[in-house]
Structure 1
């Protein structure tokens, strides 16, 4: 969250007016020069300025400095309609050659910043959430489905050595790293929500368990890095998600694990040019971005990060019968489908707790784990993984039943066709 920083000036005498006059900011976003003026769930008075990549580092640094100075001066003692003081800080985010900055401000500030040559566009910051995991009972294992050509087969067939040295970043609600399923292979890497460095919701831990849990995981020897961008209520701001992605890119680079890293994002919200562009920067950095299609029963091209061309976007099926999940988003941006109905994985009530959830949130980590598995087994580059997963799925005769027109019918498979 953007921090609230403000000063109170005490008058020298009762007869003198206060040194700083407090004002309230109010404007209609539909009148602003922003690319998502009609976005759902906007964050009040909060925006993301995306910089023009044709300008060099020095020019953008200078523009950020000027913008930061403007914010510090003009946001002093200003409140939004929610009664909270506007932040006087600006958060700069860099992913490779792509740069943006999050700020709070009034309509005049948005117009001024948007008019700068170095700024490509401004969009409203918006709220994102987990892709609507639903409590269920009596879970059949989804692992069986991704290692067989037909639904209903028993046993998960895999190469146990394939995931050694692979790292999967779970950009979510955090991870309960002391759960026995993770065998000491999970750590919390960063937190952009609060000071509680664990999973307060349960969603992220469940996702991580499907990726790399000893029992429930697809890629059982992979390392897990939790990146907390969503709070206890399963919601978070786009700027926090972008900061989380910046951490992932920098962490992979510092560890030298390019093309040995996958990022799972089981979250979604309205369409965001900034978020989709950040996805591209991660793939350029040797990281495979795997994302959930979403659970609104709508065309996923209207949402992000599902609509990002460089992401592997995952729809959900019922692993017992290959039926397309009733809740799953659909459309041409869906690349493959994975088990997302009644998935058993890690819970957070204790170090041995389990939970059963449904959603494209659960389908995505099956594919993220499989991506890490195939990368580890073949040594292929991050940029090759989308086509390779589709090729493996195409080799299987299985196809999704009752799927929406224009949606890929491919069901992920690890190469075992028995």
Structure 2
């Protein structure tokens, strides 16, 4: 399955210029743009971090993943020691680029997976690395959306999703599907007041120091494809905005982890295991931490659907696109089933869906529309389809949902045209269920 390098939040914008559990009340920006340095020298930490050559590393910021052979009590005690040391050591201190280091840490507990994100100088991160409770450390990296703005407004994406062949006239669907389901949109936020959402979209959490609403448009567009009244695949679903990307579509791996922590907490609080999907139309360079967090989330009863990415490269180089427990989605043009020229490929791609000139929600007003292209746009077609099938067929875990989607796609006989060898040729379809 399927960069968090720029977690090109697979807000995947390819046309014009390539245009995509912590309580919420602790809203701290996890995208310190002033920390970002594309030519950061990590040679001094080659033996400490597992990704010293990653793109778009955030200077002085790390994701520390704990060894799961230790119990919660031992990890909590060790983390308290780290937090106390950071609070003192980072006070008034700057990193090598002159940026003030934060004195706070962000803790993650996704099912049995535990980690923390923090700012640290070289000596401190070496000390943390030497602790037996620590499994590995990643340098935090930047993520970003990458949706593609198109010039036209017509898109046959929904029609393609319910027709065996190209050129269908209607979107055929069960009007009761996705009732009782919730989709978490981990993205730039959602314009929840838009008429397309009929009151079914709500604000969940904001891990960016900006307004709670969508200032970019990518997240709202994605949400509209999942569950909009006109543009949506699953027209009864509830939509929850989890904002991890700013107005420019930028974010960080640690910010995305905070978003996932919120999702798993909310699902557990509301007893939604087996009734929730998570859409992540974003991505960046390969991240072991992010992929493991996806696995933890899937094990907690949430179906993660992620974008393959828009770099026309193997998804194995990206996260979360390469996460084994995610359903990774590539993009086709629904008018001819041709693989989109920008779409990532490889064995990690599970399914293709319409991702060229997709019409959905805009953010200029509560009735605005926008047309975007990218694997970011293909992904919500499959997230909506997953929720649709979960209610109709009674499947609840990611493996069963993924297999059902693939089986239905196989039955249509439709295949991706001009595809890359070694990549699935299956096109998502609801088989008129």
**What is the TM-score of this pair, normalised by structure 1?**
0.93
Is residue 403 of structure 2 the alignment partner of residue 390 of structure 1? no
Q: CA contact under 8 A between 1:131 and 1:292: conserved in structure 2?
A: no
Residues 73-84 of structure 1 aligned to structure 2 (within 5 Å): 73-84=88-99
Q: CA contact under 8 A between 2:222 and 2:376: conserved in structure 1?
A: yes
Larger Rg: 1
Give the secondary-structure state (helix, strand or coil) at the position aligned to 2:54: coil
Q: Which residue of 2 aligns with 1:21?
A: none
Mean Cα displacement is larger for which, 123-132 or 281-290? 123-132
- Give ranges in structure 1 of 5+ residues lacking alignment: 5-25
1:309-356 alpha-carbon deviations (Å, 9 max, x no partner): 000000000000000000000000000000000000000000000000
Q: CA contact under 8 A between 1:3 and 1:89: conserved in structure 2?
A: no
C-alpha distance in structure 2 between counterparts of 1:341 and 1:350, whole Å = 23
Deviation, 1:416, is: 2.8
Is residue 305 of structure 2 the alignment partner of residue 290 of structure 1? yes
Residues 212-227 of structure 1 aligned to structure 2 (within 5 Å): 212-227=227-242
Q: Which residue of 2 aligns with 1:66?
A: 81
Is residue 110 of structure 2 the alignment partner of residue 57 of structure 1? no
Q: CA contact under 8 A between 1:315 and 1:364: conserved in structure 2?
A: yes
Deviation, 1:376, is: 1.1
Q: Which residue of 1 aligns with 2:14?
A: none
Give the direction of change, closer, same or farther, for the CA distance of 1:372–1:82 in structure 2 (3 Å limit): same
C-alpha distance in structure 2 between counterparts of 1:55 and 1:133, whole Å = 45
Give the secondary-structure state (helix, strand or coil) at the position aligned to 1:157: coil
Q: CA contact under 8 A between 1:149 and 1:416: conserved in structure 2?
A: no
Give the secondary-structure state (helix, strand or coil) at the position aligned to 2:297: helix
Is residue 428 of structure 2 the alignment partner of residue 412 of structure 1? yes
C-alpha distance in structure 1 between counterparts of 2:133 and 2:159, whole Å = 51
Deviation, 1:378, is: 1.2
Deviation, 1:148, is: 0.7
C-alpha distance in structure 2 between counterparts of 1:108 and 1:341, whole Å = 48
Give the direction of change, closer, same or farther, for the CA distance of 1:245–1:3 in structure 2 (3 Å limit): closer
1:65-118 alpha-carbon deviations (Å, 9 max, x no partner): 111112112212211244321011111111011010001111111111111100
C-alpha distance in structure 1 between counterparts of 2:79 and 2:407, whole Å = 44
Residues 141-160 of structure 1 aligned to structure 2 (within 5 Å): 141-160=156-175
Q: Which residue of 2 aligns with 1:207?
A: 222
Q: Which residue of 2 aligns with 1:14?
A: none
Give the secondary-structure state (helix, strand or coil) at the position aligned to 2:277: strand
Q: CA contact under 8 A between 1:173 and 1:199: conserved in structure 2?
A: yes
Deviation, 1:195, is: 4.2
Q: Which residue of 1 aligns with 2:43?
A: 30
Residues 196-275 of structure 1 aligned to structure 2 (within 5 Å): 196-275=211-290
Mean Cα displacement is larger for which, 80-89 or 307-316? 80-89
Q: 2:181 aligns with which of 166, 169, 172?
A: 166
Is residue 354 of structure 2 the alignment partner of residue 364 of structure 1? no
- Give the count of matched residue pairs: 396
Give the secondary-structure state (helix, strand or coil) at the position aligned to 1:108: helix
Give the secondary-structure state (helix, strand or coil) at the position aligned to 2:381: helix
C-alpha distance in structure 2 between counterparts of 1:158 and 1:226, whole Å = 25
Is residue 201 of structure 2 the alignment partner of residue 186 of structure 1? yes
Q: CA contact under 8 A between 2:57 and 2:139: conserved in structure 1?
A: yes
Q: Which residue of 2 aligns with 1:10?
A: none
C-alpha distance in structure 2 between counterparts of 1:379 and 1:389, whole Å = 13
Mean Cα displacement is larger for which, 162-171 or 76-85? 76-85
Q: Which residue of 1 aligns with 2:26?
A: none
Q: Which residue of 1 aligns with 2:127?
A: 112
Q: Which residue of 2 aligns with 1:123?
A: 138
Residues 326-405 of structure 1 aligned to structure 2 (within 5 Å): 326-383=341-398, 384-405=400-421
Give 4+ residue runs of structure 1 displaced > 6 Å after superposition.
none
Is residue 192 of structure 2 the alignment partner of residue 177 of structure 1? yes
Q: CA contact under 8 A between 2:31 and 2:250: conserved in structure 1?
A: no
1:132-171 alpha-carbon deviations (Å, 9 max, x no partner): 3333313222000010111111100000001111110000
Give the direction of change, closer, same or farther, for the CA distance of 1:61–1:212 in structure 2 (3 Å limit): same
Q: CA contact under 8 A between 1:188 and 1:227: conserved in structure 2?
A: yes
